[in-house]
Amino acid sequence: MKQTIDDGLSNPASVSSDENAVEADFLAGKSAFAVNWLFQYSDSNDATKSQIVGKAAFAPMPVFKAGADAGIKGSSVDGSSSFAIMATTPYPDQTWKFLTYLASNDVQTKYSAEMLPVWQTDFTGDALAKLEGATPTNPVTVPAFLAQFPFANERPTVPYYNEASAALQLAIQNALTGVKSRRMLLMKRLPRGLNLPNNR
């Protein structure tokens, strides 16, 4: 990542860009490619938001040549967007009914241009054909998602995830901006008990 900045391949502003800034540059035709969530491809074909309508593609994440030579076909990350009901809510039954509605197959299919359904059954047989036809972008995004999914890594399920995530974000940010070496920052900031390989 640092080398792509040093070599001029990555926008120097990318070290401080959030997903909305990444999308804005891409939709304005200011970047050749971007890593973002599903909504960006949908927005790229919306003439009210995009200057590149019909010119964007959507594909699985590539890997570096060294990875490909080692037989790695892809790599990505997955995380959850979970619903929850607060224990103190005065309306637990109504809340449960609403969340059940939001998580229903029909609702998730209806909004699948923005986020694909959680139901495994939607990705097989007749249900897959229905999902691919549910929105104008799904015939492109759904096959790419299916190709990428076998190579997705879950975010770590650890009790100190928020602390570890914040430490990693700061360490990577400081490495990319050249403030300090990534190794020194990671070793200093990560919680005790989290061991790093020697080559990281």
Upper half-sphere CA count for residue 10 (Cβ side, 13 Å) = 17
Give the confidence band of 191 by pLDDT, cuts at 50, 70, 90. Answer: low
Element (H, E) at 78: strand 76-78
Residues 194 and 187: their CA atoms lie apart, in Å, by 9
Instruction: Name residues whose C-beta falls within 8 Å of residue 32's C-beta, 6 or more positions apart in sequence.
Output: none
Q: Which residue has the tokens 């990534």?
A: 182
Of residues 74 and 140, the one with the higher pLDDT is: 140
Residues 144 and 138: their CA atoms lie apart, in Å, by 9
Residues 26 and 56: their CA atoms lie apart, in Å, by 9
* Structure tokens belonging to residue 152: 């997705």
Coil/strand/helix, residue 77: strand
Mean pLDDT, to the nearest integer, of 77-89?
84
For residue 192, the model assigns a pLDDT of 53
Give the confidence band of 197 by pLDDT, cuts at 50, 70, 90. Answer: very low
Is residue 85 within 8 A of residue 92, CB to CB? The reply is yes
pLDDT tens-digit profile of 60-69?
888 888 989 9
Is residue 138 within 8 A of residue 128, CB to CB? The reply is no
For residue 62, the model assigns a pLDDT of 85
- For the chain, give the longest Cα–Cα distance: 57
For residue 75, the model assigns a pLDDT of 85
For residue 35, the model assigns a pLDDT of 87
Which of 165, 193, 168, 164 is CA-nearest to residue 183?
A: 168
Q: For the full predicted model, state whether its pTM sits above 0.85.
A: no
For residue 198, the model assigns a pLDDT of 43
* Structure tokens belonging to residue 177: 């901006």
Which of 93, 117, 92, 120 is CA-nearest to residue 103?
A: 117
Is the per-residue pLDDT at 185 higher than 90? no
* Structure tokens belonging to residue 27: 């939709």
Is the per-residue pLDDT at 99 higher than 90? yes
R_g (Cα) of the chain, nearest Å: 20
pLDDT tens-digit profile of 16-41?
888 899 999 999 999 988 988 889 99
Is the per-residue pLDDT at 187 higher than 80? no
For residue 181, the model assigns a pLDDT of 66
pLDDT tens-digit profile of 45-65?
999 999 999 999 988 888 888
* Structure tokens belonging to residue 123: 């990705």
